[in-house]
A and B are shown apart, each in its own frame.
Chain A
Amino acid sequence: MYSGINISQTDARPMYLQIMEQIRARIAAGDWPAGKELPSIRALAAALKVSVITIKRAYLDLENEGVIVTRHGKGSFVADVNGLAGELKEAKLDEHLAEAAHIGRQLGLTEEDLAARLSRAHRNLETQK
Chain B
Amino acid sequence: MSTSNPIEFRGVRKAFHFFTLDDLSLDLEPGQILGFVGPNGAGKSTTIRLALGLLTPDAGEIRVLGHRMPEAQAIAKRDIGYVSSEMRLFQNATLAWHLRFIASIYPGWDEAYAATLLKRFNLRAEQTVKGLSSGEQMKAVLMLALARRPKLLVLDEPTSNFDPVARHEVLNEFTDVLRDEDRSILFSSHNTLDVERISDRIAFIDRGQLIDSRDKEDFLERWRRIQLQVPPGTALPEVPHVVDRVTDGQFVTLTTNQFSGDLLARLGGTVREVHRMSLEEIFVANVMHHREARGQ
**Could you list which residues of chain A lie within 8 angstroms of chain B, going by C-beta atoms?**
7, 9, 12, 14-16, 42-43, 45-46, 49-54, 57
Q: How far is the CA of A57 from the CA of B217 in the complex (A)?
A: 8
B70 at the interface (CB under 8 A from A): no
Query: Assuming the A-B contacts A9-B193, A12-B276, A14-B276, are A53 and B178 also in contact, with contact meaning beta carbons closer than 8 angstroms in the complex?
Result: no
User: From B33, which residue of chain A is reached at the shortest CB distance?
Assistant: A51
Sample 23 A-B pairs with CB under 8 A, ordered by A number: A9-B193, A9-B197, A12-B276, A14-B217, A14-B220, A15-B197, A42-B179, A42-B180, A45-B178, A46-B176, A49-B172, A49-B175, A49-B198, A50-B175, A50-B198, A51-B197, A51-B198, A52-B33, A52-B178, A52-B200, A53-B200, A53-B215, A54-B216
Residue in B closest to A54 when the chains form the complex, CB atoms:
B217
Q: Which residue of B lies closest to A16 (CB)?
A: B217
Bound CA–CA A54/B276 (angstroms): 16
- Cβ-defined contact, B31 with A52, below 8 A: yes
When C-beta atoms are compared, the residue in chain A nearest to B279 turns out to be A9
Interchain Cβ contacts within 8 Å, total number: 51
Chain A min CB distance to B160 (Å): 19
Residues of A within 8 A of B33 (CB): 51-52
Further pairs besides A51-B33, A51-B198, A51-B200: 5, Cβ < 8 Å: A9-B196, A14-B276, A46-B175, A46-B176, A49-B198
Q: Which of chain B's residues has its CB closest to A49's CB?
A: B175
Q: For A45, give the chain B residue with the smallest CB separation.
A: B178
Is B179 within 8 A of A50, CB to CB?
A: no
Q: Across the two chains, which residue of chain A brings its CB closest to B198?
A: A51
**Chain B interface bracket (under 10, 10 to 19, 20 to 34, 35 or more):** 20 to 34
Asked if A42 and B178 sit within 8 Å, CB to CB, the answer is yes
Contact A49 B171 (CB under 8 A): yes
A15–B200 alpha-carbon span in the complex (Å): 13
Q: Is B86 close to A, CB under 8 A?
A: no
Give residues 168-198 of B contacting A (CB, 8 Å): 171-172, 175-181, 193, 196-198
Distance of A43 Cα from B181 Cα, bound (Å): 10
B215/A50 in contact, CB under 8 A: no
Q: Please report the C-alpha to C-alpha distance between residue A57 and residue B220 in the assembled complex, in whole angstroms.
A: 12
Contact A51/B276 with A46-B175, A57-B217 known, Cβ cut-off 8 Å: no
Could you say which residues of chain B place their CB within 8 Å of the CB of A57? 217
Q: Which of A43, A45, A53 contacts B216 (CB 8 A)?
A: A53
Given contacts A43-B179, A45-B175, contact A50 B197 (CB under 8 A): yes
